[in-house]
Structure 1
Amino acid sequence: MAHAPTRSQLVRWRAAIFAIFLASGLSIATWASRVPAIKSGLEIDNIAVGLLLLGAGIASIIGLSIAPIVLARAGARRGMLTALVIVGIGVATIGIGTDLLSSYPVVLVGLALFGFGNGAVDVMMNVQGAAIEKSSGRTLLPLFHAFFSFGTVIGAGLGVVAAALEITVVAHTGLMGAVIVLLALVSVAGIPAREDAGVDAAPAARPPWRERVLVAVSAWREPRTYALGVIMLGMAFAEGGANDWMPLAVVEDHGADEALGAAALTVFSVAMTVVRVLGGPLVDRVGRVAVLRTLAFTAAAGLLLFIFAPTLPLVFLGAALWGAGASLGFPLGMSAAADDPEKAPARVSAAATIGYVAFLCGPPILGFISENVGLLNTLLVIVVLIVLSGLFSSAARPLAVASADAPVGAPSRSRPSER
């Protein structure tokens, strides 16, 4: 765009990205809530489930790697529409492979499509969210990620209903796939037609392709990118591990039924959503660093309680603390990466890549480990990563450049809460 968006354009743009975050969360919770049924239907073990997740992870890495190119060439509107259509097809294919064909390879193909589409849309929607923060001058990425959590809450809740009513996986995933495609078709109309990777310049005024590639690569040579990556890696592991393994851990290790497994994921998602809704104003008041350190402690304590709890009520309390603590690591990492408006798209893409690799590839690794030491013991790995995330929280302190234009609603450099 050659000029700043009008108020009405900004509202429509923001609503569109809210819907896309929600659709992504809905897709992930739809898969996660039916993992026990899929495992049972295919008659596979945790290693085989881990291989399915690994396939989704590899596909997601491909998707997130090409996302900046898609943004530069096709723009956010067409890029995100295509990615979400692929996600919807992938979700439906998972159900077809489970119930109609009883085919492990078909389910793997479905997860590959699901992973590829989600990887691509994750980078694009975070770049768009950072651009909206810049235009509005407020911390908004936690709220965008709250809509992702709304999607996981709705998806997990529907998973509880589907499991309790013994609705087939194919019927459940087919309906959810159609809903995701419909959300994509409706929402992308609100994205500015010439918005391209969060850059406000018109296409003719943008730097040459080679120069944009060099800027994108430069983000990977900055130590701060990797420090932010540690923050996001720990919290992405915490979130991804819950989405993919919490229902199974509740069912197989805490002795509950499938509906209670999905209910635990719902509790996790609700807690995460509440903190993300409240997170923006809280960060503007006390600062990113203080919030991240506090939540890292909360997540570690909650996960330890979930692992060692002797009763189901304590398991659910642990799930709530785990979800609350893991809520803001990823969005605040994105916000920190966008502190410099001129380099925001490249830095956001790099940071999203690190976080998303952990989010998608972490759970398969946990699956392999769990076959040797048990699923609950394996979750202790996440506790260690959460502690590391808290130790690196100071990397999220706003850059000096942020105080000039306040692109992401960061507090002033002089505020003591940022120390």
Structure 2
Amino acid sequence: MHTTPVAGRQPFAPALRTRRTAIFVFMLVVGVSMASWVVRTPAVRDLLDASTGQMGLVLFGLSVGSMTGVLSSASVVRAHGARLTIAIGGTSLVTGLALVGVASSLGLTAGVFVGLALVGGGVGMSEIAINIEGAAVENASGRSVLPMLHGCYSLGTVLGASLGIALTAMSFPVVWHLVAVAVAGTAAALWAVPQIPAETGLARKGSATSSTWREQLSVWKQSRILMLGLIVLALALAEGSASDWLPLLMVDGHGMSETLGSVIFTGFAAAMTIGRFSGEPLLARFGNVAVLRVSALVSAAGIALVVFADNVVVAGCAVILWGLGAALGFPVTLSAAGDSDDPTSSVAAVATAGYVAFLVGPPLLGFLGEHYGLRGAMVVVLVVVALASLLTSAARPRAERASSPATSGDTPSA
């Protein structure tokens, strides 16, 4: 991370503090919205009378939207700035969430698919832009921002899941739950988005950053960026698979009730929140490489226990390890990507890999779950996360890479 030592850090300037608060609020909205959908997944499945494979197809709507949002986000940021990109993504997110609620109450599978496509598109487009803004605030302030930014997302999932659990226990209608969250999210975003500078990420005319698609993709020729992309892909898959499947994994794979399955998901979200809000002191003490390596191994241990342990208590407690381990993967890797000569391209590229894994991977696990059960499908996640621990040297700060250029991995590959 490209931050100053803890003891020497200066307070945020007022303008930077406002920008930081705005992106924190927006990420909180995203977290609440996503968790509200996740905890009502079993209820939506029942309303649609869908099998595990059919739910995988429904979740593919999230993938279609996310790919559209993810692949277009960097270009929209370059052309119009992060603020407009976040506004477009936020509008898509809240509209899609409301549509999911209405369509599921009417038993319209196609409507839920479209709603999830809008949710995925909104998340993909806005979150890549907001990570670019977060990296810009880090570079301007010399302070860590991205771990806490993603912590706000996790805090939002805790709040959203807690509300969802209470409403599920009350048999509160899905439609009114999701529509209410969409309305509240709209109100919060209307304050937050205008606080973000319009010029963040905007390419200057005639500059090297005003590039074609082919030139933007050339960032992947750097071995370091490729390794960071693989790390974030693995740990984002660990996070995304839990976000999409954990309640059903506990209900169908371990025989828990729907309410208890939602409680377990809330424990996962709480572990993610604790891990992310603890990130700054851990990173300052141990550094990016050690924190990422331990994170991957701890997450792998938790997933292994959930998959292979037949004891419900052990499996439930292992979810905490799963969450703690996955917590810092995404923000620390993005922060490392931002520590480069072209932070907009690097952050956008690595974030794209992460969101592809987060949103596209879990629906594919549904197809595996249809044949091998959800516990069996999670073995894929376990293997990928364990392998990611071997690549974490790519997250070393620029100063350390400069002192050992032979192993820095910054030079373009052949």
TM-score (norm 2): 0.91
What residue number does 1:130 align with?
135
Residue type at the aligned position of 2:163? L
What residue number does 1:156 align with?
161
RMSD: 2.1
Residue type at the aligned position of 1:90? G
8 Å CA contact 1:253, 1:376 repeated in 2: yes
Deviation string for 1:222-248 (max 9, x for gaps)? 222221111111111100000011000
Structure 2 CA distance for aligned equivalents of residues 9 and 254 of structure 1: 49
Report sequence identity in percent: 39
Structure 2 CA distance for aligned equivalents of residues 218 and 372 of structure 1: 38
Mapped pair 1:295 → 2:298: no
Q: Could you say if the C-alpha distance between residues 193 and 321 of structure 1 is closer, same or farther in structure 2, counting changes exceeding 3 Å?
A: same
Structure 2 CA distance for aligned equivalents of residues 180 and 413 of structure 1: 47
What residue number does 2:243 align with?
243
Where do residues 334-353 of structure 1 align in structure 2 (5 Å cutoff)? 334-340=334-340, 342-353=341-352
Structure 2 CA distance for aligned equivalents of residues 226 and 280 of structure 1: 25
Q: Could you say if the C-alpha distance between residues 195 and 233 of structure 1 is closer, same or farther in structure 2, counting changes exceeding 3 Å?
A: closer
8 Å CA contact 1:227, 1:395 repeated in 2: yes
Mapped pair 1:388 → 2:393: no
Structure 2 CA distance for aligned equivalents of residues 157 and 81 of structure 1: 27
Structure 2 CA distance for aligned equivalents of residues 218 and 348 of structure 1: 13
What residue number does 2:356 align with?
357
1:214 Cα deviation from its structure 2 partner: 6.5
1:208 Cα deviation from its structure 2 partner: 6.9
1:401 Cα deviation from its structure 2 partner: 8.4
Structure 2 CA distance for aligned equivalents of residues 356 and 222 of structure 1: 20
1:98 Cα deviation from its structure 2 partner: 0.6
8 Å CA contact 1:215, 1:346 repeated in 2: no
- Matched position secondary structure for 1:374: helix
- Matched position secondary structure for 1:9: helix
Give 5+ residue unaligned stretches, structure 2.
Answer: 1-11, 406-414
What residue number does 1:68 align with?
74
1:413 Cα deviation from its structure 2 partner: 8.1
Structure 2 CA distance for aligned equivalents of residues 216 and 139 of structure 1: 26
Residue type at the aligned position of 2:154? S
- Matched position secondary structure for 1:384: helix
1:316 Cα deviation from its structure 2 partner: 2.1
Deviation string for 1:180-208 (max 9, x for gaps)? 211211111221243335x7xxx57x727
1:216 Cα deviation from its structure 2 partner: 2.5
Structure 2 CA distance for aligned equivalents of residues 226 and 208 of structure 1: 21
8 Å CA contact 1:13, 1:190 repeated in 2: yes
Where do residues 120-269 of structure 1 align in structure 2 (5 Å cutoff)? 120-197=125-202, 207=207, 210-211=210-211, 216-269=216-269
What residue number does 1:317 align with?
317
1:328 Cα deviation from its structure 2 partner: 0.8
Structure 1 CA distance for aligned equivalents of residues 156 and 344 of structure 2: 25
TM-score (norm 1): 0.90
8 Å CA contact 1:33, 1:156 repeated in 2: yes
What residue number does 1:110 align with?
115
8 Å CA contact 1:339, 1:402 repeated in 2: no
What residue number does 1:55 align with?
61
Structure 1 CA distance for aligned equivalents of residues 210 and 376 of structure 2: 48
Residue type at the aligned position of 1:336? A
8 Å CA contact 1:228, 1:351 repeated in 2: yes
Deviation string for 1:32-79 (max 9, x for gaps)? 111111111100111111112222112111111111122122222222
Q: Could you say if the C-alpha distance between residues 38 and 267 of structure 1 is closer, same or farther in structure 2, counting changes exceeding 3 Å?
A: same
Structure 1 CA distance for aligned equivalents of residues 268 and 208 of structure 2: 45
8 Å CA contact 1:216, 1:347 repeated in 2: no
What residue number does 1:43 align with?
49
Structure 2 CA distance for aligned equivalents of residues 233 and 194 of structure 1: 29
Structure 1 CA distance for aligned equivalents of residues 124 and 191 of structure 2: 21
What residue number does 2:87 align with?
81
- Matched position secondary structure for 1:268: helix
User: Aligned residue pairs: how many?
Assistant: 395
